[in-house]
Amino acid sequence: MLIERHGRTVYEKLNAATVGIAGLGGLGSNVAAALVRAGVGKLVIADFDVVEPSNLNRQNYFLEQLGEDKVKATTENLKKINPYVEIEGVSTKLNPENAGEIFKTCSIVAECFDKAVSKKMLIETILTKTKKTIVIAASGLAGFGKSNEIKTKKISDRLIIVGDGENGIEKGLSLMACRVIIAAGHQANAIVDLLMIS
């Protein structure tokens, strides 16, 4: 079906790709679903958390998955979309010692954390501990309204940032599915674009 939809060339490029997703919350769980629907052949996903009631307003989980490990729940959901996708799931807290090793086979890693300190750590670790891996990060997607303020900006050859750069949870703004999913769509779209030109 994907060959019919995309054409063989696009299908083969996406199917051959390995993409990492760091964090499986509002961004990561939705980026993962978009990439699997697009036809990316392998995902390396990592998170240490479990599904909580407060996650259901924006994250790609369901009521019956409450209390379940996010890596396990995400894998279940992605396999329902495409049973042929390869998922390498790592249930751990990412840090400077393990992130480079976990994502070493990935050409692109989506940074999908909530906290600025975690975002900084992941970006610095991937850019310093890998030679070619590109990071698609996010900054400024809290609140509601102003959809068109969420932009995709190329910072360097190996770093792209999605968001409005201003509206974060540190300002007391809530995270809502509307803007979070827009940002996740930007991240997934940037990933597919890079895979197609590589």
Q: What's the mean per-residue pLDDT of the chain?
A: 92
3-state secondary structure of 152: strand
Per-domain residue ranges of the chain: 2-197
The answer to whether residues 45 and 24 touch, using CB atoms and an 8 Å cutoff, is yes
First and final C-alpha spacing in the chain? 23
- Domain 2-197 CATH class label: alpha beta
Mean pLDDT computed over 156-172: 81
The answer to whether residue 177 scores a pLDDT higher than 90 is: no
Q: How does residue 174 score in pLDDT terms, banded at 50, 70 and 90?
A: confident
Per-residue pLDDT, 198? 77
Query: How many whole angstroms separate alpha carbon 58 and alpha carbon 181?
Result: 8
- Region of poorest pLDDT, from 7-11, 57-61, 172-176: 172-176
Q: How many CB atoms lie within 10 A of CB 146?
A: 10
The answer to whether residue 24 scores a pLDDT higher than 90 is: yes
Q: How does residue 194 score in pLDDT terms, banded at 50, 70 and 90?
A: very high
Per-residue pLDDT, 78? 98
Query: How many whole angstroms separate alpha carbon 156 and alpha carbon 130?
Result: 15
Per-residue pLDDT, 9? 79
Per-residue pLDDT, 5? 67
In this prediction the pTM is 0.92
CA 185 to each of CA 52, 66, 99, 129, 177: distance values in angstroms, whole numbers, following the listed order: 23, 24, 24, 27, 12
The answer to whether residue 12 scores a pLDDT higher than 90 is: no
Per-residue pLDDT, 171? 60
